[in-house]
Structure 1
Amino acid sequence: MKYMMMMHTPAGPYQVDGWSQQDFRAHIAFMKDFAVRLREAGELVAAEGLAGPDQARVVRAGKDGQPITDGVFPEAKEFLAGYWIVDVDSPERAYQLAAQASAAPGPGGAPLNLAIEVRQVMSAPVLD
């Protein structure tokens, strides 16, 4: 079963711009190591970090089909910082992996304990 694990972070405290180089490097090293462990276990499908909310836009099709954009929304309380798609045997395994990701180090090496939303990736129904 495939699951998407989405890392949600508060708009303020996770802003890595204010972190020391040592803290930032430790955080990135953790994320890279986490991806390597998932890959070696055969569980990693995809993983990406995302640009900050200051670069986000909401897009809708206008009446003529042309894109209409709205945003920037920097006042949001939380934003999606990144995600992993994993292929695991059970939801419990996805929850275990999400807890590991949640414990990524922040300033001073303390675990961030960020919220990781876990949702099953749905597949299309088999048509007769």
Structure 2
Amino acid sequence: MAKYLFLKHYRGAPASVNDVPMDQWTPAEIDAHMKYMDDFADRLKESGEYVASQALAYEGAWVRYGGEGEPAITDGPFAETKDLIAGFMIVDVDSYERAVELAGELSAAPGAGGRPIHEWLELRPFMGSPTTVTE
């Protein structure tokens, strides 16, 4: 088994012709999207492939070591930016191919008008997890 991270990005501007920024979705469209995500996670819990997932708030801060004293902190990221990390899911699967299959399915979550949003998900193996990435 190998653990993979699906990193979900929120794009404030359309990434494809099927994409409408989430801030323009109706409440019903947002509910349908969230239900799809919850149902997907529930199915992976039943198969034993689910590890964790969480949506992330749009507000945050950048923090780094500031030398002597307190860490340096700046505001951001901001919801107005074109690309924010909106959430993540961690799966524990038998192969890279299975991780790709699941990420593709998750990418089909509905958006505006109930159409799949075809979002790009960043797929990252955990350090130390065996991978079979092929081109």
Q: TM-score range by the shorter chain?
A: 0.7 to 0.9
Amino acid at match of 1:68: A
How much does 1:65 deviate? Answer: 4.5
How much does 1:71 deviate? Answer: 2.4
CA distance 1:65–1:16, change in 2 (3 Å) = same
2:50 is equivalent to residue 58 of structure 1: no
Structure 1: which 4+ aligned runs deviate by more than 6 Å? none
Unmatched runs of 5 consecutive residues or more in structure 1: none
How much does 1:17 deviate? Answer: 3.8
Report the equivalent of 2:34: 28
Overall identity of the aligned pairs, in %: 43
CA distance 1:63–1:103, change in 2 (3 Å) = same
| TM-score, length-scaled by structure 2 | 0.81
For residue 4 of structure 1, give the secondary structure of its aligned residue in structure 2. Answer: strand
Alignment coverage as a number of residue pairs = 122
Unmatched runs of 5 consecutive residues or more in structure 2: 15-19, 130-135
Counterparts of 2:82 and 2:25, CA distance in 1: 20
Q: Cα RMSD over matched residues?
A: 1.8
Counterparts of 2:116 and 2:55, CA distance in 1: 18
